[in-house]
Amino acid sequence: MTTTSSPEPKAADKGASGRHGHHGPGGGTPALALGALGIVFGDIGTSPLYALRETFEGHGHELHVNPVNVYGVLSLITWSLIIVISIKYLAFVMRADNEGEGGILALTALLRRDGETSKGRRKALLLLGLFGTALLYGDAAITPAISVLSAVEGVTVQAPDLEPAVLPIAVAILVGIFVFQRRGTDAIGKIFGPVMVVWFSVLALLGMVQIVKEPGVFKAINPMYAIDYFQANAFTGFLALGSMFLVVTGGEALYADMGHFGRRPIQMAWFVMVLPALLISYYGQGVLLLNEPDAIENPLFRLAPEWGLYPMVVLATCATIIASQALISGVFSLTMQAIQLGYAPRHRIRHTSAAAFGQVYIPVINWALMIACIALVIGFRSSTNLAAAYGLAVTSTMVITALLFYFVLRERFRWAAPAAIALCGAFLVVDLAYFGANLFKIPAGGWFPILVGTGMFTLMTTWSTGRSIVAELMHRNDIRLVDYVDGLRRSKHPPRRVEATAVYLFSSPGLTPPALIANVRHNDVLHQTTIVLSIATALSPRILPAKRSEVTDLGDGIYQVILRYGFMEDPDVMQGLREGQARKLAIDPTTSAFILGAEAVRATPGSGMAIWREHLFVFLTRNATPAAMYFGLPADRTITISRSIEI
């Protein structure tokens, strides 16, 4: 698979309905904003379940529930939501879109194709972006576990005797979530938005009931209360930031899911409903704590009246299921991007909706996430313990996003250095404060996302490096396709031509597939219509079907065909051959033969990678989905010719 450059991205925001390839919820901005509530804001929207509790009673620190701390924490929460979410992501970072798509891989792709960036810097930024991407897998395992567990724990507020049932119920819900993935979310996804409207409305209602008792709590908006908080708590107050950060987890999701809805609908949903509901909920919990310090045990559920506790638990569980679903779907999409960009081996990808682009299901990722989530629930046993593992991956990713955004501002948006440094420096002050506080959570569980992130980063870089080594070995004796065809034409003993069509898949356009050379040499046969087909992945999210294929006629019935796909598209060779210029070839898949090469890779000492990485690469190669299945080739018409390669 080769990578080609694509057209320059437009910096301006693109409405979701105006981008090619968008298949999100229909309708105008309000309808899209409703859809965004169910997909984009699940993670940050369920933070009130545990964020305030963990801020006061988290691992490694314990704040006294008194007016100075309550007002200080509320002030810090307010300004964190404003600076990190409203300003950093919604006002600035989301403008750095890759033809409408967002996320750290899309941001990295912007820099990868910038001709003005030096090769060394591009590689460093690429590795930085890859590590940020890898860290999101750890976050994806923790978020469903902590969200579902914190929701189910609500039953113990009124019925402490049910505590032994919390873990089994949470595990059963998680199993149900992951088992359901293969069916897709197209049908139930339509109710995600309305359910989250109810969730945010209830958060605001329960908070407002408390606020009307003490409306003076809104004075916490004054940042001086945050200063008083740090003066009163010193280093302990800094450590508490590691748990306070839970209020902004989900910020990366706003950016990553931009392609489904567009920037403006996400902004509308945030400012009209999500931000007000979150602030009212946190301020309501603050009033409750001022009057009942013991309520810190579970402040959100203590806001509910006694008769409404169990309905609140059910609603919270539904909200956490939606939050988990959105994050799991995001990991599927992220994995598909990584495969297309050459950072992960091929895996079977199933599209679960004919209408909604991006709704995919990857079995190996699904079951790995399920095992990780269940292991976390059983191993940590409570949302409080899990909170110690939560945050480090997200803060690291946010720091990386700020650093990459600086280079995007400089090299693509042409900002002057002082302005870019001032803006990104302000973001980094906040991001690094949260990151530093989360570093102290490593012994209590913060090691988990770092372990997962490091493992995923190792897998991605090993796969990318291994493929480069294999490609270099394969192309040492390459023959240009035009030269090979010319040689056949001038040969005194040309191969016999048979009345049929053969399609040779080869990753390098312009070069002769070894399978073609072997077939002509050993069988002395060349099909009357011979097509050398290459799949190219662009650094843009999608390619117009009309521009899908490029055909070069080499004469004598031999053609070079290039199918181009965006990094968010799933290659389908059979469909691609019916799009663009290739449509004129009128290839009949029922009578054509599809021939591709495969490499039997062996690890040997003394070459490009450490021997353990070579063995890892061999393992990944052997367990990758076969190319014929991945590209959708007909099994009964496909021939694979293998060659041995030592790396």
**Where does 440-553 have alpha helices with state H?**
447-474, 481-490, 514-523
Match domain 36-449 to its CATH number in 1.10.275.10, 1.10.645.10, 1.20.1740.10, 3.30.930.10.
1.20.1740.10
C-alpha to C-alpha distance for 284 and 4, rounded to whole angstroms: 53
- What per-residue confidence (pLDDT) applies to 359? 64
Average pLDDT, 10 consecutive residues per value, the chain (647 residues): 35 37 54 79 88 84 89 96 94 82 78 61 83 85 86 77 84 88 65 89 95 93 94 92 89 78 86 95 95 90 88 89 80 81 81 58 88 90 80 87 90 90 94 92 85 90 87 76 87 84 87 86 87 84 86 88 83 86 83 82 78 88 82 82 76
Which burial class, exposed, middle or buried, applies to 619 when counting CB atoms under 10 A from its CB (0-12, 13-18, 19+)? middle
Which residues fall within 8 angstroms of residue 98, CB to CB, at 6 or more apart?
Answer: 9, 106, 107, 109, 110, 539, 540, 541
What's phi and psi for 640, nearest 5 deg?
-115, 125
Looking only at the bridges linking them, the beta strands covering 558-565 and 549-555 are: antiparallel
Q: How far apart are CA 522 and CA 495, in angstroms?
A: 10
Distance CA 522, CA 513 (A): 14
Residue 163: CB atoms within 10 Å: 12
Count CB neighbours of 588 within 10 A. Answer: 10
Whether 321 contacts 552, CB under 8 Å: no
Domains in the chain: boundaries: 36-449, 481-646
Q: Report pLDDT for 228.
A: 94
Give the Cβ contact number of residue 176 at 10 Å. Answer: 10
Which pLDDT value is given to residue 112? Answer: 63
Nearest to 275 by CA among 15, 41, 93: 41
Q: In this predicted structure, what is the pLDDT of residue 351?
A: 66
Six token digits for residue 63: 């704040």
pLDDT in tens, 46-63: 899 888 988 998 766 778
For residue 427, the model assigns a pLDDT of 94
DSSP H or E stretch at residue 432:
helix 417-439
pLDDT of residue 10: 35
State the number of CA atoms in the 13 A half-sphere of 259 facing the CB. Answer: 29
Q: Are 495 and 525 in contact (CB under 8 A)?
A: yes
Which CATH number is 481-646 given? 3.40.50
Tens digit of each residue's pLDDT (9 = 90 or more) over 95-127: 887 777 777 877 887 776 554 556 777 788 888
Separation CA 99–CA 574 (nearest Å): 26
The neighbour count for residue 198, using CB atoms within 10 Å, is: 12
